[in-house]
Amino acid sequence: MDFDRDYSMTINGGPATAASWLDVVNPATGKAFAQVPDCTSEQLDEAVSSAQAAFPQWRALPLSDRQALLLKAADAIEPHVEALVRLFTREQGRSTAGARLEIEGAVQWLRAVSRMAPPEHVVEDSTEQLIRTRYVPLGVICAIAPWNFPVTLSIWKIAPALLAGNTMVLKPSPFTPLCTLKIAELLRDVLPAGVLNVVCGGDNLGVWMTSHPGFAKISFTGSTATGKRVMEAASRDLKRVTLELGGNDAAIVMPDVDVDAVAEKIFNGAFYNSAQICVATKRLYVHADVYDRLRDRLVELAQAAKVGDGSQQGVTLGPIQNARQWERVRELLADAREKGLTLLQGGDVPEEGFFIPVTIVDNPPEHERVVQEEAFGPILPMLKFQSVDEVIDRANASDYGLAGAVWSADEDAAMSIAERIETGTVWINQNLVLRPDTPFAGRKQSGLGVENGMEGLLEFMAPQAIYLARS
Ligand code: NAD
């Protein structure tokens, strides 16, 4: 398979192209380097029909067969990791090492999910009656993914949805469709036709999908603003929804930390993938006693970061993934500058491409946009605090509730702070760790429902209670 050209959608187990094409831009150069088909509404209908047609047989397979096919899917992708890594860096921008983590991680994720099985419960088994609850698949899943972790976040949907017995039509972001299209092509010989369809197109396609009557459920990852539109579209025929949306995660650094030991981990938690991570640290609250030392250490790390084309050796931070997001981050930076906030910046950035220097904002007022909004780019506000109660109030004063972190030498104290943070995930003395066996769920406007873990698997299923009367 040639990973550098011939990008086609996968519909009903075969390739599909279209009359019109969309450019895919390398964010490190700002130049288009590939084209993908722009799915028509007739092709979407075809994809949904093929997924509907494949559903009865797919759901009727024994679970062990679907588990085995997910393992075969992992085996089919694995020999192509290096080709996918190169393609990933070209379309997404991330460093080669970071791209490898994502592609290898997807293979491992498929394998881990293939070992899962939905539970069955016996509520009562007596002389009067037998009551069983079991879980059944929903039908055709509409899956929509964003551009920041395009492969990971697609696999988070594909693996559990298919294991549960559903079929799927998946849409990657128009900014990062290439690896997903090639992975679907690799799986054409593994999965029965129609089980996994991958289509691509502009944002219109998302609107057509979320209002399409053929879907039983929408699994969406993206911004909170789009998530609200998805939920509105789903309400027309009460499609089930799982929404994994934005975040403005707070990290709290207590005065007892070893600043030198934690600085690099905190830096990575904020800036990995050039801060384009839903669960990145986006507000860094630091106790006044260690504030200056940690700030100086983070500025040193910012200055040492090598920002550039992710395919070049030594580059640690790539570009902002697309021109739209780049403009948004630059606008936020200009606003901070206009307000007279202190910006501590590191490193030279290339002239070509969508680059932003690593920026730390030194103790801005809490109400500033740079604190209140999800930047989704390398601008980190550092904020000073004095007391635990005060910092927990400030961390929780957000419409978002995705994740957060606590850094402290005292595990018990950190645990009690973690329990008071109103987010679906909290890390203590680590961050960005997410696992297939652990639920990931946004609170407040960070989302609805759960991905991953048994809870995430069951979101792709419906409980069925069976009552048998015994005479
Ligand atoms: P986005 O909402 O712009 O787009 C996400 C996807 O939705 C894309 O595939 C896009 O084409 C599609 N889309 C756009 N308009 C649509 C519509 N009206 N109906 C249906 N689909 C539509 O988000 P983005 O800019 O690609 O991603 C960045 C955002 O995603 C950030 O806010 C980030 O925090 C969030 N995110 C959340 C998680 C999570 O798990 N909670 C993970 C990654 C990213």
Whether the pLDDT of residue 93 is over 80: the answer is: yes
Q: Which of 102, 185, 244, 374 is catalytic?
A: 244
Sign of CA dihedral 140, 146, 151, 152: negative
Torsion from C-alpha of 77, 81, 87, 88, nearest 10 degrees: 90
Considering the domain architecture, whether residues 460 and 398 belong to the same structural domain is answered as no
Q: The whole model's pTM is what?
A: 0.98
Considering the domain architecture, whether residues 456 and 415 belong to the same structural domain is answered as no
**Residue pLDDT, tens place only, 167-189:** 999 999 999 999 999 999 999 99
Q: What is the mean pLDDT of residues 394-406?
A: 98
| Catalytic site includes residue 278 | yes
**Residue pLDDT, tens place only, 41-63:** 999 999 999 999 999 999 999 99
Containing domain of residue 278, as a range? 250-435
Considering the domain architecture, whether residues 214 and 330 belong to the same structural domain is answered as no
- pLDDT in the model for residue 347: 75
| Cβ of 177 below 6 Å from ligand 1 | no
- Burial zone of 59 (CB within 10 Å; 0-12 exposed, 13-18 middle, 19+ buried): middle
| φ, ψ (nearest 5 deg) of residue 142 | -95, 115
Taking residue 203's Cβ as centre, other Cβ atoms within 10 Å add up to 11
Q: Which of 278, 374, 451, 459 is catalytic?
A: 278
**Residue pLDDT, tens place only, 193-229:** 999 999 999 989 999 999 999 999 999 999 999 999 9
**Residue pLDDT, tens place only, 355-371:** 999 999 999 999 999 99
267 within domain boundaries: yes
Q: Which residue has the tokens 């679970």?
A: 63
301 within domain boundaries: yes
58 within domain boundaries: yes
Is 356:334 a contact under the CB 8 Å cutoff? no
**Residue pLDDT, tens place only, 412-463:** 999 999 999 999 999 999 999 999 999 999 999 999 999 999 999 999 999 9
How far, in Å, is the centroid of ligand 1 from the Cα of 72? 29
- pLDDT in the model for residue 348: 87
Whole-angstrom CA distances from 180 to 41, 110, 320 are: 20, 14, 20
β-pair type (121-125, 129-137): antiparallel
Considering the domain architecture, whether residues 198 and 265 belong to the same structural domain is answered as no
What Rg value do the Cα atoms of the chain yield, rounded?
Answer: 23
- pLDDT in the model for residue 471: 83
Residues near 358 by beta carbon (within 8 Å), at least 6 away in sequence: 271, 302, 305, 307, 317, 345, 346, 347, 378
| Catalytic site includes residue 142 | no
Q: For atom 37 of ligand 1, which residue has the closest CA?
A: 245
Considering the domain architecture, whether residues 389 and 450 belong to the same structural domain is answered as no
Q: How many domains does the chain have?
A: 2
In which band, very low, low, confident or very high, does the pLDDT at 130 lie, cut at 50, 70 and 90?
very high
3 within domain boundaries: no
